[in-house]
Amino acid sequence: MLRLLALLILIAVPAKAEEIVLGLSRDEVAITATFDGSDILIFGAINRDSGIVKDGDLGIIVTVAGPNENLTVRRKDRRFGIWINTEAVEVGIAPTFYAVATNAPLADILTDHEDVNTRISLNRAIHAIGPSQNGGRDFADALIRIRGNQALYQALEGAVQVEADTLFHTNVTLPANLTEGDYKAEIYLTRGGKIVDVYVATIPVVKVGLERWLYRLAHENAFLYGLMSLAIAIAAGWCASAVFTLFKR
């Protein structure tokens, strides 16, 4: 079925050199109270002019990036028997989620020059500036390691499957701890390490139902949200006390 869909997309688009024709298994991710993660199937085909000369090995790179945020990464050291913050670096560009999937080792299908320009690799997608000796690189590496353990940063080399040098597909798993916003999916087609085509799509990730109402209330009317939280806490405490008293009798 997947192969048939990719072929139908390929036939419908006029050829021009080599270009990507893409499909997504879903165009929106809804975060509910029971949301425990989601998978997105990204599939497509390479539409090419029949007379094109293939120069270099084929590379397919798929990235999915969440909204960027600014944050401070701190280093803790043990001083006088306690742990304290000793150094901090501002991370100016840090996506809340980032996955990069490829059909081969990234270094084999993308030159370093292209990576510098496009910031595709995890190391270059995170930009840290600070007073450390490595210009914040060690702090950025720590952030990648921490968020990697939370499945928020993923390096998926070999996860893109390519058939007959034309059809491709991959699966990107979104964890439960997602940040709401627009997630950008970018697919790069490379030949000999150089990018020859790019396809960009947007995947909205939104809270729905009770989650959405509570989120908007907390951000748009913090005072009312605080009163409601206090009332719920008092009610819960009173109910617990009443139940305890009942059982004690």
Q: Which tokens hold the place of 12? A: 């419908």
CA dist 180 and 200 (Å) reads: 19
Helix (H, G, I), strand (E, B) or coil at 28: coil
Backbone angles phi, psi at 186, to 5 degrees: -125, 130
More confident residue, 178 or 98: 98
Q: Which tokens hold the place of 213? A: 């109402």
Q: Which of 56-70, 93-107, 167-181, 200-214 has the lowest mean pLDDT?
A: 200-214
Question: Helices marked H in the chain — which ranges?
Answer: 2-12, 106-109, 112-118, 122-125, 137-149, 209-220, 222-248
pLDDT for 180: 83
Per-residue pLDDT band at 133 (split at 50, 70, 90): very low
What dotted CATH number matches 2-207? 2.60.40.3880
Q: Quick one: average pLDDT of 223-231? A: 73
pLDDT for 62: 94
Residue 38's Cβ-side half-sphere holds a number of Cα atoms within 13 Å equal to 18
Per-residue pLDDT band at 73 (split at 50, 70, 90): confident
pLDDT for 11: 46
pLDDT for 139: 78
pLDDT for 82: 75
CB contact at 8 A, 111 and 168 = no
**pTM of the full structure:** 0.72
Share of the chain above pLDDT 70, in %: 72
- In this model, does residue 167 exceed pLDDT 80? yes
CA dist 66 and 152 (Å) reads: 9
- In this model, does residue 81 exceed pLDDT 80? no
Q: Which of 14-18, 152-156, 184-188, 244-248 has the lowest mean pLDDT?
A: 14-18
